[in-house]
Structures are given as structure tokens and as C-alpha cells.
Amino acid sequence: MPPAMRRATQRDVAERAGVSTATVSYVLSGRSGPGKPPTAATHERVLRAADEVGYELNHIARSLRRQRSDVIALMYPAPASPWSDRLIEQLQAAADPRHLTVIALPVTPTSAEHSVLRPLRERMVDGAVLLPDCPVDVEELAGIAQRGQSLLVFHDEAVPDGFDVVHQDRLTACRAGIERLLVAGHRRIAHLAHERELENPERSVKFRSYRDALADHGIGLDPDLIVPVADSRQEAHTAVTSLLRSANPPTAVFSATDRAAIDAVWAARELGIDVPEQLAIVGVGNIPEGEIMSPRLTTVGLPELDFTVEVERFFTRLEAAEPLPGTVIRSPWHLLARDSG
């Protein structure tokens, strides 16, 4: 029987890289401290040497010893969107030089509320960014923050309590989008909704905006005009086609996503219906595709997909030697009036 191969050690890495074992430990631990850190060239040389000698870092043992996982999470309602993709890109760019891992944790419509925060409760990650519409108990977040987890929460009603909150004022912005349609004279406004919104409408900013704006104009909800297709481009196209072929079609559409709104434009075009003259359309999200299509999509969302301020605050909290007080970051949504409605 051949002898078992010896597991590579940090001493082996140090000899291959031509540095001290202390330098190897410093680089492989990913830690920062008061001393002068290794240069970028030394850092790269150590990592290359570790790969060459087959050194395997024992993440489990290190996590137990340091009480850290060196993993952070982005929790978002599935499916992913261009702005959740952009946020995770910026998180990853900030995490890479810190030798941290970023994981994306999608929250599906069937995710149980008690399970969403499990990675934080059980300290599987050192912190998380939670995007809007994740079904979480805001009061529980304070307890998680007190146990040392770093949190950045996108939530318009949450009050910071040991964690940071991003207020976007989505309700006002969505309401402005629907008011634009109502002021233009539209009374049959279809809503392309998220499926999860219709299961729990009181927790849905977009559905509440739609419902309340109609009510303020004396218009009741028509179940035939509300379809749960905002997360599927194919289903949105099919649903809007069916609505437009009905005996009493809508004259406007408010979509909970730009993706579905864009397919509403395509469905109308294929039926020879002019947008916006015969069908006005407003989306939510301000994805890049909406600005380059014809007609350009009127939408509600952030003017720019840039989360620099939010990402910097998250890592400031993550790296702080002492707990920081919670702060509010204001990043309001806007109505971006273009050509489709």
C-alpha cells in the first residue's frame, strides 16, 4: 500500500514563497491589523505558493477559532433583477480585497418566514444585506444585530436598531406612477403583480400603491385586471395579450417589474395597439433595457443602479472594532417619465 500523502502545511507554503510563516498566516487568515500588511506582490506570491504545494485551508477549524465565517450574504426575493445583480457585483468587488466570500440567497415565494433568517441565527454568515420584500420579522433583526451580525436592510418602515436601514420611499414613487396614469384619464388599469403580493397584499408596496390610488379616485378593484405574472416574461406576454383581446380591455398597465412591462409593450405591438396612444404602460425597476427600447419605458425606481454608499456602510460596520449605532441611508425611488405612459 503506498504511503499516505502528507498534508501541506503553512511552513511548506512559506518555504515555497520565500517568506516567514507569520506572513503566510497573515495572508491566509485574511485578517487586518495594526501592523504593516504584506505588499500586494507578497500577497500574490503566498497565494500562488499555497496553490502550488496544495495547501488546503481548514475553514471549519478557522471559523470555530475566530468565531467568524468570512462569508457575507445578499438575500433577495427571487428571481434576481438587474439591480440585485448590480448590488452583488459591488459587494463582491469590496469583498475580494478583504478575502471574504459573498453568497446570494434567493428568497422564493414559498420560503417560510422562519427559515429566511436561519443563516444569520446560526451564524453561517458574518452579516447580510437584505433587499426589499424579503419576508422577515424586523423586530428579530435587532436581536441578531446584538449578537454581532452586521446587517444592512432595505426597508422603508424599519427603524435602525443596531443595524443600518435603507429607506427608498417606494410607496410614494409607485403611487406617483399610478397617479400619472389616472391623471391622464385612464380608469381601466391592469396590474401585473408578483405572485407573492397577492398572497399577502398588505405587505406589498406595489399592490397597495395600485389599490389605494384607484380607491382615492373612486375606482374599485377589478380581479380580471390583476394577474400574477410580473416575474415571468412569457407569462406576462400571454396575459397582456389575453387582456387586450378581451371584450373590455385595459387602457393602461402598471407592472410590478420592468421586465413584464416590456413584454406588455411587445404584446400590444403584435396586436397593432399603439403605445402609449392606445395603451399606456408604467413599469417598476428602471432596468437598462427600458431606456433603450422604443417607446422608452416610463418606470419607477432608482435613477442609477449604484450602491456605493450602501456597500461602504456595510463594510464599515462589518470591520468596526466596537458596535456602531444604526443609521438610515436615504436612497429614494423616483418616477422616471419617458414615452410609454
270-300 pLDDT per residue, tens: 999 999 999 999 999 999 999 999 999 999 9
Rounded Cα distance between 123 and 147, Å, is 9
112 vs 58, more confident: 112
197 vs 328, more confident: 328
289 with 310, same domain: the answer is no
For the segment 218-230, what is each residue's pLDDT rounded down to a tens digit? 999 999 999 999 9
| CATH number of the domain encompassing residue 80 | 3.40.50.2300
β-sheet bridge partners, residue 334: 301
188 with 278, same domain: the answer is yes
Taking residues 196-223, report their average pLDDT.
91
Which residues lie below 8 Å from residue 292, measured CB to CB, with a gap of 6+? none
Q: What is the mean pLDDT of the chain?
A: 88
Rounded Cα distance between 261 and 129, Å, is 27
Q: Residue 52 — φ and ψ, nearest 5°?
A: -65, -35
The DSSP output letter for 22 is: H
Residue 148 lies in a domain: yes
The angle subtended at Cα 135 by Cα 102 and Cα 89, nearest 5°, is 25
64 vs 91, more confident: 91
Q: What is the pLDDT of residue 63?
A: 43
35 vs 215, more confident: 215
155 with 126, same domain: the answer is yes
Cα end-to-end distance, the chain, whole Å: 76
- Report residue 31's pLDDT band, with 50, 70 and 90 as the boundaries: low
Least confident of 61-65, 136-140, 305-309: 61-65
Of 57, 59, 35, the C-alpha closest to 46 is: 57
215 vs 22, more confident: 215
Taking residues 162-190, report their average pLDDT.
97
Residue 63 lies in a domain: no
Q: How many structural domains are present in the chain?
A: 3
Residue 89 lies in a domain: yes
152 with 263, same domain: the answer is no
pTM of the predicted model, to two decimals? 0.78
53 vs 145, more confident: 145
Q: What is the pLDDT of residue 110?
A: 67
- Report residue 199's pLDDT band, with 50, 70 and 90 as the boundaries: confident
**Strand pairing category for 298-301 and 334-336:** antiparallel
Residue 62 lies in a domain: no
Crossing angle of helices 205-216 and 170-183, in 10° steps, is 40
Residues 23 and 46 sit within 8 Å (Cβ to Cβ): yes
**Strand pairing category for 280-284 and 298-301:** parallel
Domain that holds residue 314: 69-168+304-332
178 with 291, same domain: the answer is yes
Residue 5 lies in a domain: no
Place of cell 477559532: 65
Rounded Cα distance between 10 and 6, Å, is 13
Taking residues 127-131, report their average pLDDT.
93
Residue 3 lies in a domain: no
94 with 30, same domain: the answer is no
